[in-house]
Amino acid sequence: GENVEQHPSTLSVQEGDSAVIKCTYSDSASNYFPWYKQELGKRPQLIIDIRSNVGEKKDQRIAVTLNKTAKHFSLHITETQPEDSAVYFCAASTGANSKLTFGKGITLSVRP
């Protein structure tokens, strides 16, 4: 089955700096890659996703890049703010009606 790994497990950045979170996946059939943000005590919520026919996607301060050859994808957050502090999960899926496999999550801390 699919195996999704995230690196590093924790990340601390200064407010205003950029943060990059990387994920690798094992199943070459995976074609959907969402990122979820989970604030303390709350539910995971989708912040951005990318499909395999696209190499990069941006939404304001966040962007995701996908390298299908290397089987890795990354979340980029620019101009980080304290409210970006949360746990970020990457996930992969092989398609419709299939399951999402999540990475273990990374705790991002943005220092004011």
Partner 1 sequence: DAGVIQSPRHEVTEMGQEVTLRCKPISGHNSLFWYRQTMMRGLELLIYFNNNVPIDDSGMPEDRFSAKMPNASFSTLKIQPSEPRDSAVYFCASSWGSDLTEAFFGQGTRLTVV
Residue 50 CB partners (closer than 8 Å, separation 6+) = 32, 33, 34, 56, 57, 64, 65, 66, 73
46 binds partner 1 (CB under 8 A): yes
Q: How many residues bind partner 1 (CB under 8 A)?
A: 23
Q: Which of 73, 105, 108, 110 binds partner 1 (CB under 8 A)?
A: 105
CA distance 110 to 25: 27
74 binds partner 1 (CB under 8 A): no
Where on the chain is the footprint of partner 1 (CB under 8 A)?
1, 31-32, 34, 42-46, 49, 51, 89, 93, 95-97, 99-105
